[in-house]
Amino acid sequence: MARRLRRSVGIGALVVAVWATASGCVTMPEARIGRTVAWSPVTSERALTFLKRYEQVSNKASETRDPELIAQVESGPLLRATRAEFRIANRLDPDRTSRSTRARYTNQRIYIPDLADYPVWFVAVSDLADEGRTTVSLVVRSNAGSLWHMTQSVALDDDAQLPELVERNGKVVALDTGSNEGLVRSPWQAAQAYANLLMAGPDAPHAAAFHPHPQTARSHQATQRNKEQPGFTYDQKVSVVSVRALAVADGSAFVLFTLEENEELSLQDARLRFDRNDAVAAYTGRAEGDSYLRTSWVWQAVAVVPPKGAPDPRIRLLGVERSLESAKMR
């Protein structure tokens, strides 16, 4: 469930797309008490209640650019990316001459795993009514005393289709993200392999594990240009933040994962110059730097990891988004 700010961000020769997303929802805390009543912290009704509240709160937060209001329904890297979007918007349009587009979510499908304890979570698939896109969102409640928060939201690629998930007694089946039983890689290994691929480039051994994706190619091209620029050194680190996985009918795994990318450009006899409308310049409030630039990005992805013995063992990315989380320039 996402509303995106699309911008070109220049870092020397680096030109990439920035997506800052907004997503979330809320319910009252429920303790796990007693053993005579079936424990059911997630129901379709409660999930839909949260999604309705998320739509209301996130639209209001986007309209007012309120970083505290959005925290009622989002958390983690997704929240930080949304707050970065608000900060950029405030710098680029301080008089609020342009209004945010209100998101309307339709055809919402809820997938609830049969979990034995906290944290509990569910996956929501929704159509953005006015944009012709489908989003996959992860909603989490960490403990009995906490509220629901959206922690991930990714738009599916135009040609991507949600796989048929395994259902048992009305619930989908959550997989152990650290286990590769029946899979070419465990869900966690798949996320880590993608992080390594982003760092190592298109000729890395991990490249053969994935179907090509435009976001991967753009990242590699931008990183290579940065490394070749004279006058500064470039460092990059990509790490896995979270992974969730659901069983698919054909034996594969439907995986949702979040990565965090940190980049640093250390300048030596060089100077960075940005258009003031650039997102990094807007976030930092600076159009030039002569010492360093440090940026953090959130990568959100949904993918299918094939079963062992599949004719095509490559992991297919169904949707990938990269969002600015923070930037600092001197």
The pLDDT value given to residue 270: 79
Beta carbons within 10 angstroms of residue 30's beta carbon: 15
The pLDDT value given to residue 184: 98
- Please tell me the pTM assigned to this model: 0.87
| Cα 182 from Cα 166, distance rounded (Å) | 15
Decide if 309 is inside a domain. Answer: yes
Tally of domains in the chain = 1
Decide if 129 is inside a domain. Answer: yes
Decide if 258 is inside a domain. Answer: yes
Decide if 2 is inside a domain. Answer: no
Tell me the residue length of the chain.
330
How sure is the predictor about 39, in pLDDT bands with cuts at 50, 70 and 90? low
How sure is the predictor about 99, in pLDDT bands with cuts at 50, 70 and 90? confident
Decide if 1 is inside a domain. Answer: no
The pLDDT value given to residue 180: 96
The helix (H) or strand (E) run that includes residue 121 is: strand 120-128
| Cα 17 from Cα 19, distance rounded (Å) | 7
The pLDDT value given to residue 23: 36
Decide if 149 is inside a domain. Answer: yes
Give the pLDDT confidence of 120-145 residue by residue, as tens digits. Answer: 999 999 999 888 899 999 999 999 89
Q: Which residue has the tokens 């209100």?
A: 102
Give the pLDDT confidence of 289-319 residue by residue, as tens digits. Answer: 888 999 999 999 999 999 999 999 999 999 9
Give the pLDDT confidence of 104-122 residue by residue, as tens digits. Answer: 999 999 999 999 899 999 9
| Cα 10 from Cα 279, distance rounded (Å) | 9
Domain span at residue 242 reads: 7-329
**Nearest partner of 58 among 128, 133, 157, 161, judged by Cα:** 128
